[in-house]
Chains A and B, each alone.
Chain A
Amino acid sequence: MAQGQAAFYRRLKRMYSWYTCGFIIFVLLLALAERIGMSSQWIGYVFMFASIALYAVIGIVSRTADVTEYYVAGRRVPALFNGMATGADWMSAASFIGLAGTLYFGGYQGLAFVLGWTGGYCLVALCLAPYLRKFGEFTIPDFLGARYGGNAARMIGVLAAILASFTYVVAQIYGVGLITSRFVGLEFEVGVFVGLAGILVCSFLGGMRAVTWTQVAQYIILIVAYLLPVVILSTKVTGVPVPQAVYGTVLQKLTETEQTLFASPREREVNALYKARADDFEDKINGLPASLDIERTKVTARLDALKAANAPAKEIAAAEKALKNIPRNEIDARKKWGEARTLAAGKAQPPLAHSVAHAGKDAAESDRKRLNFIALVLCLMIGTASLPHILVRYYTTPSVREARESVFWSLFFIFLLYCTAPAYAVFAKYEVYTNLVGSTISTLPGWVASWGKVGLVKIDDINHDGILQLAELTLNTDVIVLATPEIAGLPYVISGLVAAGGLAAALSTADGLLLTIASAMSHDVYYKVIDPDASSQRRLVISKALLLVVALVAAYTASRKPDHILFMVGLAFSIAASAFFPALVCGVFWKRANKAGAVAGMLAGLGMCLYYASITHPFFGGDIHNAWFGIEPISSGFFGIPFGFVVLVVVSLLTPAPDRTIIGLIDHVRYPKLGGSVHAVESGSRTDR
């Protein structure tokens, strides 16, 4: 067995080394083809279809009809490779495309995500992974079901797993749609279903086994794609190809640039103009409903005047567009004008300096920001340690020892991306502040126009001086990573590579999540509750059918472009943390925790989390004024987690202690090996001394 595993490990290392070389040669060949004159459209096509074809091949080669292979990849994934697979599983479209942009705009405040999404792995390593591996079943609800005897805890676990994973998977498929529509020019809805195909080819035939080996392949693509552009940009700006090590000096220069830029008279002038615009919208909103009629008359009069004066067609067209954009009714006006006011008000003063922490108008506001930062970091960390699609990866290693090592490798591979994201943000910001701002608008580089076409870059010369001021530029968060290759002046093949990386990030996460949802329904609900006598063949058929259904529902939801998807993803961390964390940790570390306590604790945590989100977030009809201590709804786990813990402890103490079989199970998971002759061990260790 040990020898077989060692040979398997060697073979894997050899295969993936060849794969990496092949991938690099493929990119070089495409670069050459671009030199010869391959169009950027075709580069996009080749990247997308070649990578999906590759995942399909791995998926088909890894097809399986064995239950252990299907649910946990046969439990023989070596620590290093499980680390890579976890990395790809973990890093989603949001991490790959969105994080650097969030850091660009949020500066220090955005680092809560970097901290939260890495620090959680300490909890995984110390409190969960080794024990779950020793338990060694198929899903996370499995553990809850066994530890807290009976189906109640299992079913709540299934509910929470689906609640947390489904919105998350919708967001991934949405990300695939965006990437394919931007880079390949497919319709968004078509892109969504291409992405769906890409996901199903991996997971449908081979379950966890196929997903694992494609995730390793996807990790290699995504990390190369993420690092390469910023390494080249760093070499250009500082002469050192290690952006993570040198962006401190660039940040220093950026801070100096910020000071002079924010204080410059032109920038001040633009800020004042935006202030006036915001006040104007404020007046209009206060003057509703009369102001809507006044506005309509004014715009119509201008259009008539232009037409009468025989003005150029362009001006007339602009006035017609303005007339068409006038809100239809009072509700619409409140919404549209409110958004416009917020946008203008945001530009009425210079943005925060990049590295400033917890800045506020007064001490109370900065205290609130500090508390929110802490709450968000906590929720993200504990949520990381509770998301079922991550925890289930530690079922797949060959041993407890490798499960522990595998968390280290997971964190290492995730660290590579997360410590690069802040560098991305600083380099991109420095380029924009020094090279873009202050140049004439008619001579801006090509990427501004090309990303402007898809609405990710907007320029509004509010003071009509023909020169770009910082406040006149509006960037979408996604554009930072997507446009960095062009900002650095790199050939299109690198942009194609970045798109392939984003695709890999989205597909790999979607695979893991889909499998988690399908397993929860097929294994925990169907096999464990409805039909415990089902044959393994039947279980797999059910599992695959459910996978297909869930995937189709998720793709359909994504194709409807739900507005609040990002908020829902953020909430997934709080949901998972509040529902799972207390029950999982107490399940291992507190023998007195019993069924009643766990069920009550999970329901209480989940309920509190959802209740808090519902009273504070407008999506559920809540309002941030209802917040307790000013905590944002994304961190609703800040109340859900402790409440879940307290209820679990109190209810457990009020009800009888768990029986001997349960105590036996706890001892079983606590020790990598129990049983055999303890005396022999003791005398053995004595001779050692």
Chain B
Amino acid sequence: MQLNERHREYWRRNLRMISILLTIWLLVTFVPIYFAPELNEVSFFGWPLAFYMAAQGSLIVFLLLVGYYARAMNRLDREYGVQEDI
């Protein structure tokens, strides 16, 4: 079927959200790895910071990203009337 302007807007907003979240994902993963020796000088509740990020911190951010995207998209579906009928 033919897409209308609202459909296209839904997809643009989806793409924008994906790009923002993927940028956060990239930064949170690779910045602590790149600067690991320097960040390890900083202590975070006993952990060296880079070690903490790779062992736990980044993982928590991943969870938040995925959880946020699921909620936001399910809301966006309803806003644009493309949600499934259940």
Contacts and interface: CB of A to CB of B under 8 A. Distances in A.
Interface of A: 1-2, 5, 108, 111-112, 114-115, 118-119, 121-122, 125-127, 130, 244, 248-252, 355-358, 366, 370, 373-374, 377, 381, 398-401, 404-405, 407-408, 411-412, 415, 418-419, 422, 589, 664, 667, 670-675, 678, 680-682, 684-685
Contacts of B40: 108, 355-357
Of A122, A412, A675, chain B has the most CB atoms within 10 Å of the CB of A122
Contact of A674 (B1, B33, B65, B85): B1
A673 B1 CA distance: 11
16 contacts: A119-B58, A122-B66, A248-B47, A249-B46, A251-B47, A357-B50, A357-B51, A358-B37, A366-B37, A400-B84, A404-B74, A407-B66, A408-B66, A418-B59, A673-B83, A674-B7
Contacts of A2: 86
A151 B1 CA distance: 26
Interface in B30-67: 30, 33-34, 36-37, 40, 43-48, 50-52, 54-56, 58-60, 62-63, 65-67
A358 B33 CA distance: 9
Contact of A401 (B48, B81, B83): B83
Interface of B: 1, 3-4, 6-7, 10-11, 14-15, 18, 21-22, 25, 29-30, 33-34, 36-37, 40, 43-48, 50-52, 54-56, 58-60, 62-63, 65-67, 69-70, 73-74, 77, 79-86
A673 B74 CA distance: 12
A130 B73 contact: yes
A411 B82 CA distance: 26
Contacts of B18: 126-127
Given A355-B40, A357-B37, 16 more contacts: A108-B40, A115-B54, A122-B66, A125-B69, A126-B21, A357-B36, A357-B50, A370-B33, A377-B33, A401-B86, A404-B70, A422-B56, A667-B1, A673-B83, A682-B6, A684-B81
A1 B83 CA distance: 16
Contacts of B81: 678, 680-682, 684-685
Given A114-B59, A119-B62, A672 B86 contact: no
Nearest to B81: A681
Given A678-B4, A678-B81, A119 B36 contact: no
A682 B69 CA distance: 24
A678 B36 CA distance: 51
A22 B67 CA distance: 31
A404 B51 contact: no
A399 B84 contact: yes
A405 B50 CA distance: 29
Contacts of B37: 356-358, 366
B62 to A, nearest CB: 5
Given A115-B58, A248-B46, A672-B82, A404 B69 contact: yes
Nearest to A419: B56
A121 B66 contact: yes
Chain B: interface secondary structure? helix
Closest 9 CB pairs of A and B: A681-B81, A248-B46, A357-B36, A111-B54, A404-B70, A248-B47, A422-B55, A249-B46, A355-B51
Nearest to B39: A357
A134 to B, nearest CB: 9
A230 to B, nearest CB: 14
Contact of A377 (B1, B11, B29): B29
B46 to A, nearest CB: 3
B34 to A, nearest CB: 7
Contact of A667 (B3, B50, B59, B77): B3
B83 A674 contact: no
Nearest to B54: A111
Of B43, B47, B51, B58, chain A has the most CB atoms within 10 Å of the CB of B51
Of A356, A408, A415, chain B has the most CB atoms within 10 Å of the CB of A408
B22 A401 contact: no
Contacts of A589: 15
Contact of A673 (B46, B48, B84): B84
A130 B73 CA distance: 10
Contacts of A127: 18
Given A404-B70, A671-B10, A672-B82, A108 B34 contact: no
A269 to B, nearest CB: 30
Given A127-B18, A251-B46, A404 B55 contact: no
A401 B69 CA distance: 11
B83 to A, nearest CB: 6
Of A114, A119, A684, chain B has the most CB atoms within 10 Å of the CB of A119
A358 B36 contact: yes
Contacts of A411: 62-63, 66
Contact of B86 (A1, A112, A373, A374): A1
Given A374-B34, A401-B83, A672 B77 contact: yes
Nearest to A116: B29
A404 B72 CA distance: 10
Contacts of A250: 46
Contacts of B86: 1-2, 5, 398-399, 401
Contact of B79 (A401, A405, A671, A685): A685
Nearest to B85: A673
A261 B21 CA distance: 44
Nearest to B65: A122
Nearest to B34: A370
B69 A126 contact: yes
Nearest to B76: A672
A122 B21 contact: yes
A131 to B, nearest CB: 11
A114 B82 contact: no
A507 to B, nearest CB: 26
Nearest to B55: A422
A248 B36 contact: no
Contacts of A374: 30, 33-34
Of B52, B63, B70, chain A has the most CB atoms within 10 Å of the CB of B70
A208 B31 CA distance: 40
A398 B85 CA distance: 11
Contact of B77 (A126, A244, A401): A401
B22 A126 contact: yes
Contacts of B63: 408, 411-412, 415
Contacts of A130: 73
A125 B71 CA distance: 12
Nearest to A425: B55
A309 B73 CA distance: 85
Contact of A685 (B58, B62, B80): B80
B70 A115 contact: no
